[in-house]
C-alpha cells in the first residue's frame, strides 16, 4: 500500500508537466494541419504527391505507441489489441509491418508480428528533435515505396482517468474537401506551392510529436489512476485482515477463558 501510494504521487507530479505540454501544443498542431489542408486543397493534384499520393494499398506500416513501464492498467494492452485487430481484421491479407515506440508494445507484438523497428529510448529524452528523426524515417519509407499507408495507434489524453484510443492515418496525407463558397483572397510570399512544400514535412513531424506527447501524458494519468485503485484495494484488504485477526484473537481469548473457568469448576467438585 505504501509503494502504490508513493507511485501514485510520483505519477501525479509527472502528469501535471506532461498535461501542460500536450495542452499547450494542441492548438498549434491543429492550426498547422488546418492551414496545410486549406493551402493544399487549392493546388494541383500532382503537387505534394510525395506525401499525398494515394496508391493501391498493398503494404501497411502500423506505428504502435506504448510505454516502457507497466503498472498503468490497460494502457498498453489496449494499444496492443487495437494494433493486432488492425492487422488481423482491417488489413488482413496485406503485407503488414509494425514499428513500436515503447518497450511494452515491442515485448508482445514482436512475438507474433513483423516488427521492423523499435525505439524505447524516445521517452528518456522526449524532444521534438528526437521525434523528428523518427518522423523523417517514416516519410522516407513512404516516399521510397516501402509502405503504401502508415497508421498511428496511440492513447489520446482526455483527463487523468480517461484515455481515448486513436487510430490516425499518418501517410498519405488525406485530402480534405474545402467549402467552395469560402473564398480566401491571400497574397502568398513565396508561392503557395513553396509554402506547402515546406509545411508538409513540418506538419507530419508535429503530428507524430503530438501523438507521442498525448501517449506520454496518458501513461502518467493511467498509472496514477491504477495506483490509486491499487492503494484503495490494499486499504480494504488491510481492514479485512485486521478484522479477521481481531476475530481470531477474540475467539482464542474466549477459548482460554472458558478453559480456565472449566478448570476452576472441576477443582471445586
pTM (2 decimals)? 0.85
Query: Which pLDDT score, from 0 to 100, does residue 32 have?
Result: 85
- 37 or 153, which is more confident: 153
For 2-227, the fitting CATH number among 3.40.1380.10, 3.40.50.2000, 3.40.50.970, 3.30.365.10 is 3.40.1380.10
How is residue 22 written as a grid cell?
Answer: 500536450
Per-chain mean pLDDT for the chain: 89
Query: Which pLDDT score, from 0 to 100, does residue 86 have?
Result: 95
Query: Which pLDDT score, from 0 to 100, does residue 64 have?
Result: 97
E strand or H helix at 60: strand 59-65
How is residue 112 written as a grid cell?
Answer: 507474433
Instruction: For the beta carbon of residue 91, count every other beta carbon within 10 angstroms.
Output: 17
The 3-state DSSP class for residue 101 equals strand
Domain boundaries, the chain: 2-227
Mean pLDDT calculated for residue range 156-161: 90
> Chain-centre distance of CA 234, in angstroms?
27
For a pLDDT cut of 90, what percent of the chain falls above it? Answer: 69
Amino acid at each position: 500500500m505504501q509503494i502504490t501510494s508513493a507511485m501514485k504521487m510520483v505519477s501525479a507530479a509527472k502528469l501535471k508537466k506532461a498535461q501542460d505540454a500536450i495542452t499547450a501544443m494542441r492548438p498549434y498542431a491543429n492550426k498547422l494541419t488546418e492551414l496545410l489542408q486549406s493551402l493544399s486543397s487549392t493546388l494541383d493534384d500532382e503537387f505534394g504527391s510525395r506525401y499525398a499520393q494515394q496508391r493501391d494499398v498493398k503494404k501497411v506500416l502500423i506505428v504502435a505507441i506504448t510505454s516502457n513501464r507497466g503498472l498503468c492498467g490497460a494502457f498498453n494492452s489496449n494499444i496492443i489489441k487495437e494494433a493486432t485487430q488492425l492487422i488481423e481484421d482491417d488489413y488482413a491479407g496485406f503485407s503488414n509491418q509494425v514499428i513500436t515506440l515503447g518497450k511494452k508494445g515491442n515485448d508482445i507484438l514482436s512475438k507474433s508480428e513483423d516488427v521492423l523497428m523499435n525505439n524505447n529510448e524516445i521517452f528518456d529524452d522526449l524532444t521534438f528533435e528526437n521525434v523528428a528523426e523518427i518522423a523523417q524515417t517514416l516519410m522516407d519509407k513512404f516516399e521510397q515505396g516501402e509502405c503504401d499507408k502508415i497508421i498511428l495507434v496511440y492513447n489520446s489524453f482526455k483527463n487523468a482517468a480517461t484515455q481515448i484510443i486513436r487510430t490516425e492515418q499518418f501517410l498519405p496525407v488525406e485530402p480534405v474537401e474545402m467549402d467552395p463558397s469560402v473564398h480566401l483572397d491571400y497574397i502568398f510570399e513565396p508561392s503557395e506551392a513553396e509554402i506547402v512544400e515546406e509545411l508538409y514535412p513540418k506538419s507530419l513531424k508535429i503530428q507524430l510529436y503530438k501523438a507521442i506527447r498525448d501517449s506520454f501524458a496518458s501513461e502518467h494519468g493511467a498509472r496514477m489512476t491504477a495506483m490509486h485503485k491499487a492503494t484503495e484495494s490494499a486499504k480494504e484488504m488491510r481492514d479485512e485482515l485486521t478484522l479477521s485477526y481481531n476475530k481470531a484473537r477474540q475467539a482464542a481469548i474466549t477459548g482460554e477463558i472458558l478453559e480456565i473457568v472449566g478448570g476452576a469448576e472441576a477443582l471445586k467438585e
